[in-house]
Structure formats: C-alpha cells, structure tokens
C-alpha cells in the first residue's frame, strides 16, 4: 500500500521511526548455547517427584483425602505436565485428582492425551469431562454431574471414610453436586502455596535458567533502545528471546516511558520513546520449565543526559532495593522485615509500590509482605525460610511528578542473607 494510503494509526505508531525500518529484514534471535546446555542438565524427574511430595505433605497436614486441581499452576506443580496453560487459565477444562495416599489421575482432552504421557508421577490419564459453557453449552449441568460423580467415586475409592476434598477452581454446578454426595470442599490454595514456597535444588536451577533467558532478553532490549523506537517494539524483544529459548509467556505488559512511567502500572503502548526519557519495565517473564523471572529495571534513553531529578529518583529507588535485600534472611519473620525495612520518604508514599516483597515460583506466589504502615489492613506474619525465592520491589515517583523509577531484584533466601539471580545491573549505565 502506498504511504499516502496508510491508515492513520500507522503514522502514529511509527512516529520517528521510518516506514523502511518497519519493513527491514531482521535476523532470527540467536540461541545462547550455554543457557540451553545448563537447562539440559536439570533432573526433571527428581524435580517433579519433589513437588508432588511437598503438596501431599501439605494435604496430609490438613487431613484432606485428596485434591482436584484445575489451576494450570497447581496442575503443573503436582503432575509436571503442561497443556494449553494460558488458555486453561480462563477455561478450566483439564484437571487432576491427587490422592493424598493413592494415585495421581490426570484428566486430559481426548484429542491431546498423548501430549502429557510419560510424567513420572501420573499413574493414569483419562478423558476429561469439561463442563464450561464454551464446550458444554446448555448441557453444563449434565456434564457437571458426570464430572462430580466420577470425582466422588475416586474419593470413595482412595479416601475411604475421609470426605474432605481440596479444590482450587470449582464452579457452583460441580460444587453443589459434590455436596449432594456428602463431600466436604476446602480451598486447596493454602496447601498449594505453602508447598510451592520452598524450592528444591532442581527448582532453583530452573529459576536460574529462566533468569538467564531474561537477562539475555534485557541485554537485547538495552541494545535496541534508541530514540524513535516504540514501547511495544522494545517490549516485543523480551517475548521473542523468551520463546526462542523455550520460555512460555509474559504475565503482564509493564513497560512505560517518559510521562507514562508515573504513576506505575501503565501497559506498554505505541508511544515513541524520546531521548532522555526514563524507560521502566517489569519482566514478569514465565521462562523455561514454567518458572518466573521477575525483575524491574529503569533506563535513560540515549541522546540526552539525565536530569538531576532523574538521578535522585534512581538513587532513592536503589537505596530501597539494596537495604531491603540486605536484611532478608532465613528465620526472619515477615513482621520483623516490615518493621526493619527501608522507609519511603513522605513525598513518594502516595505512589509507592503496593508491597515490598513477594514470593516467586511459577508466577507471583505467597507471601506478599506489606509495609508497616499497611500492616493493620494487609499484614500477616510468617517466616522466611531457606531456599525461598522472592522479588524485592521499589517504585519511586512523586504524585503528579513527570516520571518515576521502577526497580526490582529477585533473590534466593539463605541462612545468612540473599543471593541475586540476575546479572543485569541494577542501575542504568548512563546514570553516574
């Protein structure tokens, strides 16, 4: 199509970038052989068996006869299988019955049962009975009854007189039918999150692989950041590198530039990045093996020196991250951390990040540590344990300010402190 016939939005997207640049051929993302070699060394059978044993221990602790898992994160943790994970986050159709003492039975779509064959912990694969409206239409009640009857049969077979069943996503029709069978339903999420909290050596290796891919993607993004590139163009490089190395998806689309960095949580757009803009992003990258690499960086777009105000924002955000990372260690309570954490200066409190620390595994996980000022409304106590993985958060930007700085580090908690997973510098090289 000639330039004169291009739709209006095209010129807005291109901005300072040329039409020729948009159509220029580009090379395929290079594969980092060292990352792939390290990934190949991970013992996935040991990984999967560890995770199932952790979950079963939590089910037993709560006297549950078993669990029915539909959430893709819980399914992956318990069975080591993956099938249409993103789609099934909003269309729960595949599921697993995990007996506390007995088999793991995976229910898959008939046409894709072969996809998840071979798991070291799945004892049987059966056709699923999905009862979401998309698939069952006006027959949802019929299908929900068939689903519940089969689950009740399994519970009787492997739970005996114990009628306590943990579930994660169970819509009313299925829940009511199970209740009619005398099944007591409980939310599995507490048991699942507690199980997922402490990582094995194999899990830590998976998380390091995800971070290695994330670091490689960030390096590519940093090289591509020039005046004239759009936020979406820059953001796409994170996805591309992740997928090329066996990664899976990005949880959010948090990349913003210039005035869109304040307040935080603006999604990536077609805004053209200009020289001297702050450019911040939060990776939320679900990488190889389904594990999360969750860090944030803020850069200065080349071509214009940073303002003193921008340097100050960087310095304050860096102080918060470094201090809070330095006090974290196994055996510290959540309340102790909240009381000893770095105090956000008053002018930045209104726009501060919603939490100081959150757990990481497949995605954001328990715990979420509230500021001391928010403890009454959102705080809860617990204990940091060795081999937990957490992300430490900071956002610094005045209410109504022209821009802001988002930083975040992901760390492994040890007996005497923390270990960084990312090798990407915390502070931009253009900020002295």
| 56-72: pLDDT as tens digits | 999 999 999 999 999 99
Pick 201-420's CATH classification: 3.90.230.10, 3.30.390.30, 3.60.15.10, 3.90.79.10.
3.90.230.10
Q: What is the pLDDT of residue 7?
A: 38
Q: What is the pLDDT of residue 12?
A: 39
Q: Which of 238, 199, 250 is nearest to 42 (CA)?
A: 199
Q: Which of 267, 209, 214 is nearest to 237 (CA)?
A: 214
Using alpha carbons, list the distances in angstroms from residue 331 to 108, 126, 335, 412, 417.
41, 43, 12, 14, 10
E-assigned strand segments in 149-246:
164-167, 184-187
| 265-277: pLDDT as tens digits | 999 999 999 999 9
Q: Mean pLDDT in the chain? A: 92
Using alpha carbons, list the distances in angstroms from residue 408 to 110, 249, 431.
43, 19, 17
State residue 104 phi and psi, 5-degree precision. -105, 120
CB atoms within 10 A of CB 136: 19
pLDDT band at 256 (very low <50, low <70, confident <90, very high): very high
* HSE toward the beta carbon, residue 252, CA cutoff 13 A: 18
CATH code 3.10.129.10 for 44-197: no
pTM for the whole thing? 0.91
pLDDT band at 116 (very low <50, low <70, confident <90, very high): confident
Domain boundaries, the chain: 44-197, 201-420
| 120-163: pLDDT as tens digits | 999 999 999 999 999 999 999 999 999 999 999 999 999 999 99
Q: What is the pLDDT of residue 29?
A: 84
- Cβ contacts of 142-149, under 8 Å, gap ≥ 24: 144/171, 144/173, 144/174, 144/177, 145/173, 145/177, 147/174, 147/177, 148/174, 148/177, 148/178, 148/181, 149/177, 149/181
| 174-227: pLDDT as tens digits | 999 999 999 999 999 999 999 999 999 999 999 999 999 999 999 999 999 999
State residue 92 phi and psi, 5-degree precision. -65, 100
Q: What is the pLDDT of residue 27?
A: 62
| 310-368: pLDDT as tens digits | 999 999 999 999 999 999 999 999 999 999 999 999 999 999 999 999 999 999 999 99
- Top mean pLDDT of 11-25, 82-96, 406-420 is at 406-420
Q: What is the CA 180 to chain-centroid distance, rounded? A: 37
Place of tokens 């979950």: 55
Q: CB burial class (10 A; 0-12, 13-18, 19+) of residue 98? A: buried
Q: What is the pLDDT of residue 26?
A: 59
Q: Which residues have a Cβ under 8 Å from the Cβ of 314 and sit 6 or more positions away?
A: 298, 306, 405, 427, 428, 431
Q: Span 91-115, mean pLDDT? A: 94
Q: Span 418-428, mean pLDDT? A: 95
């Amino acid at each position: 199509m000639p330039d004169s016939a291009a739709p209006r939005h095209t010129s807005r997207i291109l901005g300072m970038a040329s039409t020729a640049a948009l159509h220029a051929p580009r090379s395929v993302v290079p594969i980092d052989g060292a990352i792939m070699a390290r990934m190949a060394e991970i013992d996935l059978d040991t990984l999967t068996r560890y995770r199932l044993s952790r979950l079963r221990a939590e089910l037993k602790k709560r006297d549950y006869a078993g669990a029915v898992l539909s959430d893709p994160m819980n399914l992956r943790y318990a069975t080591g299988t993956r099938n249409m994970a993103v789609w099934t986050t909003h269309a729960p159709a595949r599921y697993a019955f995990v007996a506390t003492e007995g088999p793991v039975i995976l229910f898959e779509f008939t046409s894709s049962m072969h996809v998840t064959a071979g798991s070291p912990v799945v004892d049987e694969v059966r056709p699923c009975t999905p009862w979401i409206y998309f698939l069952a239409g006006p027959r949802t009640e019929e299908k929900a009854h068939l689903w519940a009857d089969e689950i009740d049969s399994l519970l009787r077979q492997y739970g005996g007189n114990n009628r306590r069943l943990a579930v994660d996503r169970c819509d009313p029709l299925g829940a009511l039918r199970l209740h009619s069978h005398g099944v007591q339903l409980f939310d599995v999420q507490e048991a699942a999150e507690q199980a997922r909290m402490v990582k094995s050596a194999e899990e830590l290796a998976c998380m390091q692989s995800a971070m290695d891919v994330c670091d490689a993607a960030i390096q590519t993004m940093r090289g591509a950041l020039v005046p004239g590139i759009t936020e979406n163009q820059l953001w796409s490089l994170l996805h591309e590198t992740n997928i090329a190395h066996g990664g899976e998806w990005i949880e959010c689309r948090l990349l913003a530039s210039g005035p869109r960095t304040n307040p935080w949580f603006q999604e990536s757009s077609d805004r053209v990045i200009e020289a001297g803009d702050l450019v911040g992003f939060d990776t939320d990258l679900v990488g190889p093996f389904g594990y999360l690499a969750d860090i944030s960086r803020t850069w200065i777009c080349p071509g214009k020196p940073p303002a003193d105000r921008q340097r100050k924002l960087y310095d304050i955000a860096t102080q918060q991250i470094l201090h809070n990372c330095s006090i974290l260690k196994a055996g510290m309570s959540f309340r102790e951390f909240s009381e000893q954490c770095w105090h956000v200066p008053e002018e930045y409190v209104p726009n501060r990040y919603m939490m100081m620390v959150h757990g990481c595994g497949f995605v954001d996980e328990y715990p979420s540590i509230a500021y001391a000022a928010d403890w009454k409304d959102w705080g809860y106590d617990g204990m940091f344990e060795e081999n937990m993985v957490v992300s430490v958060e900071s956002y610094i930007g005045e209410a109504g300010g022209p821009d802001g700085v988002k930083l975040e580090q992901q760390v492994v908690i040890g007996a005497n402190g923390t270990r960084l997973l990312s090798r990407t510098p915390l502070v931009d090289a253009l900020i002295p």
